[in-house]
Structure 1
Amino acid sequence: MPLADFLFYFKLGWSHIVSLDALDHQLFILALVAVYTARNLKQVLILVTAFTIGHSLTLLLSVLDVVRFSSKWVEFLIPCTIFITALSNLFKKDFSAKAVNTNYYLALFFGLIHGMGFANSVRMMLAKDQNMGWGLFGFNLGLEVGQVFFVIIILALTWFALSFLKIKRREWVIFLSAAVFSLALQMALERIPN
């Protein structure tokens, strides 16, 4: 595969997370990461990789035409995954590694749903490509790098809020999660399939 093709798919994956049109994915990552601090960087990187694995699996199955889902339902389910994740944060009283382990399962399972959201638009592009495997690899690598970039921003803001603004950790988690919950709930209500 020529480097230009790899870079094309890498940029596509990157923009899938960091573009202004990627609010749903950004909110999901924010909800997942809200309960962590910079001290949990390794856990957070595993978490976003779990999301990428779920996302990639659905994308692969869709490109191979093994699974197909109604885009109306997928567009509705994506904000549902976000507000469920944010809602689960609101009920957490303990932010130890053991207490937030459920986020790994949420990331993996909900990554499957998020992967369906992009599958319809990228299916045709990748299916025509002779080097589909490299295209998927480039896309997923771009997705992962975009997520890590976004995670670093979230963890830096969390560090600033806790260290300099002296906001209590639980209050910070509630603030972030409540904001994400309300935005995602509004998105879900707007996307209820007819």
Structure 2
Amino acid sequence: MNKLSSFFYSGWHHIVDITAYDHLLFVMTLCAAFTLTQWKQILVIITAFTIGHSGTLVLSALEIIPANSKLIDMLIPSTIMITAIANIVNYEKHGRFSDATIKYSIALIFGLIHGLAFASNFKFMLFSDRIIMPLLLFNLGIEAGQIFIVLLFMTSLWIYTKIVKGSHFKWNLFVSGAGFGIATTILVSAMTSG
């Protein structure tokens, strides 16, 4: 594997790696309020998340913003908790999120925060002063990983709603509630760690 292709792989691995469950949890919680017919909105939201963390990666790689790992470890689970609350509070009767613009904004802004976690890995991999191609490949890897996770997630939703005949409301409530609970555990752990 050459140096440039390793950026794509690292971006992919950063998302699909089970030890990076905070990012997996965020992506799943972010998608929970959307139905199968809203797949275009889901792609837009995932891309908004990628754009958000791309901005942070650039700023961090150029050493414009410092990385505070303790703060990042508290902010990331907070983004999951806020997303879970937004899913439940804004859910309409027909299984749709009431304002997609709010979701896009959440994804973009929270992408900036999640980008801080990506930044330490990305800066470590950089060579010389070339940032454009490594950044593009790293983000394409992240985007491909997110789309893969979303496809698995939406397949599970399809099985639940079409075969099991479960309601989308219950799906959203379960995924958002689980996201909130796990994120709370992560946050408490981050706050109490040395």
Structures share fold, TM-score greater than 0.5: yes
| Residue of structure 2 in register with 1:181 after alignment | 180
| Residue of structure 2 in register with 1:65 after alignment | 63
Secondary structure of the structure 1 residue equivalent to 2:104: helix
Where in structure 1 do 4 or more consecutive aligned residues deviate above 6 Å?
A: none
Q: Give the alignment's Cα RMSD to 1 decimal.
A: 1.6
Q: Distance in 2 between matches of 1:137 and 1:93?
A: 35
Where does structure 2 lack aligned partners over 5 or more consecutive residues?
none
Instruction: Indicate conservation of the 8 Å contact 1:76/1:192, yes or no.
Output: yes
Residue 21 of structure 1 aligns with an amino acid whose one-letter code is T
Residue 149 of structure 2 aligns with an amino acid whose one-letter code is F
Q: Deviations over 1:146-188 (max 9, x none)?
A: 0011111111111111111111111110011101110001001
Q: 88-97 or 138-147: which moved more? A: 88-97
Instruction: Indicate conservation of the 8 Å contact 1:11/1:139, yes or no.
Output: yes
Residue 6 of structure 1 aligns with an amino acid whose one-letter code is L
- Structure 2 residue corresponding to 1:76, chosen from 71, 74, 77: 74
Q: Deviations over 1:83-125 (max 9, x none)?
A: 1101111223314365343111110000000000121232132
Secondary structure of the structure 1 residue equivalent to 2:18: coil
Instruction: Indicate conservation of the 8 Å contact 1:78/1:113, yes or no.
Output: yes
Q: Deviations over 1:34-89 (max 9, x none)?
A: 01122111111110000000011001100001111311101111011011101111
Q: What is the TM-score of this pair, normalised by structure 1?
A: 0.93
Q: Distance in 2 between matches of 1:93 and 1:140?
A: 30
1:5 is the counterpart of 2:3:
yes
| Residue of structure 1 in register with 2:33 after alignment | 35
| Residue of structure 2 in register with 1:45 after alignment | 43
1:138 is the counterpart of 2:137:
yes
Instruction: Indicate conservation of the 8 Å contact 2:15/2:24, yes or no.
Output: yes
Q: Distance in 2 between matches of 1:131 and 1:84?
A: 36
Where does structure 1 lack aligned partners over 5 or more consecutive residues?
none
How many residues were matched structurally? Answer: 191
Q: Distance in 2 between matches of 1:86 and 1:178?
A: 7
Secondary structure of the structure 2 residue equivalent to 1:22: helix
| Residue of structure 2 in register with 1:86 after alignment | 84
